[in-house]
């Protein structure tokens, strides 16, 4: 997605690309394909299209900071009014913030075991929901600013924030720091992680302890998101 509401999509693992556009100019922060529809999350709301971006409808005017979809296709978004949930592929939204004190959640993650995790700055904390977002419990408020949450094949949790990369083997009750320094975003593939840092892109082992530098010529300061396809292709959303 781009600043002016434009986005690109590929049907052949990135070999060729087509351009779409949301009618209202807004920065796109995530694109989802669910139930054979495009769902676009922006700072001016959530938009849906069934015609590859040729026509759109806005399902909420709430500005979206981050979003996640669980294994049952339930969508969660963080907005200026808190977390909201949709069980009908983004057509309608209900509040799902009970237990979270403040609204500016900046990272959401849906684990395979059904738990939903949410995090933000120090005054927000790190939360877990065990009931599909109906209620939330505080796990920790020791992080400076959480920007991504993931788990690996043995269900260890990983958090990145402006102070480093952290791992928990007990579902967030305790943490060890794997790397100090800012880690901006992280993507989990089947056997490894890809992370973006001020020093460049790195590939990590499944436990996050072995780091391999990836010599990729990109504008690393402006990478918004990282995605690894099922066939191993790496996609990076960056300011060109």
pLDDT in tens, 58-116: 999 999 998 999 988 999 999 989 999 999 999 999 999 999 988 889 899 999 888 99
Question: Would you state the pLDDT for residue 56?
Answer: 82
| Contact criterion met (CB below 8 Å) for 205 and 212 | no
CA dihedral for 157, 161, 166, 168, sign (positive or negative): negative
Contact, 224 vs 237, CB < 8 A? yes
DSSP secondary structure string, 121-157? Answer: BTTT-EEEESSTTS--EEEE---SBEEEEEE-TT--E
- Of the candidates 137, 153, 139, 126, the one whose C-alpha atom is nearest the C-alpha of residue 208 is 153
C-alpha to C-alpha distance for 204 and 52, rounded to whole angstroms? 35
132: alpha, beta or left, given left = phi > 0 and alpha = psi -120 to 50? left
Q: Give the pLDDT band of residue 37 (cuts 50, 70, 90).
A: confident
Mean of the per-residue pLDDT values for the chain?
78
- Band of residue 215 on the pLDDT scale cut at 50, 70, 90: low
pTM of the model: 0.79
CB 56 within 8 A of CB 46: no
Terminal Cα distance for the chain, rounded = 12
**Pick from 118-132, 144-158, 202-216: least confident:** 202-216
């Amino acid at each position: 997605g781009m600043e002016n509401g434009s986005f690109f999509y590929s049907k052949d693992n990135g070999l060729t690309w087509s351009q779409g556009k949301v009618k209202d100019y807004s920065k796109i922060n995530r694109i989802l394909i669910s139930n054979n529809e495009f769902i676009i999350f922006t700072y001016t709301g959530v938009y849906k299209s069934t015609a590859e971006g040729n026509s759109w409808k806005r399902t909420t005017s709430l500005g979206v900071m981050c979003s996640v979809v669980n294994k049952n296709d339930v969508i969660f978004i963080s907005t200026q009014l808190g977390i909201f949930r949709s069980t009908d592929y983004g057509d309608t939204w209900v509040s799902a913030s009970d237990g979270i004190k403040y609204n500016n959640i900046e990272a959401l993650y849906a684990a395979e075991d059904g738990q939903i995790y949410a995090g933000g700055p120090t005054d927000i904390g790190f939360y877990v929901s065990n009931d599909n977002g109906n209620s939330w419990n505080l796990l920790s408020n020791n992080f400076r600013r959480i920007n991504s949450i993931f788990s690996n094949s043995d269900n260890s949790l990983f958090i990145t924030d402006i102070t480093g990369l952290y791992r928990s083997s007990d579902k967030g009750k305790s943490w060890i720091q794997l790397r100090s320094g800012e880690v901006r975003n992280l993507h989990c593939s089947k056997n490894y992680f890809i992370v973006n840092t001020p020093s460049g892109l790195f590939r990590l082992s499944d436990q996050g302890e072995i780091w391999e530098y990836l010599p990729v010529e990109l504008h690393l300061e402006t990478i918004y998101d990282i995605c690894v396809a099922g066939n191993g292709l790496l996609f990076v959303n960056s300011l060109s």
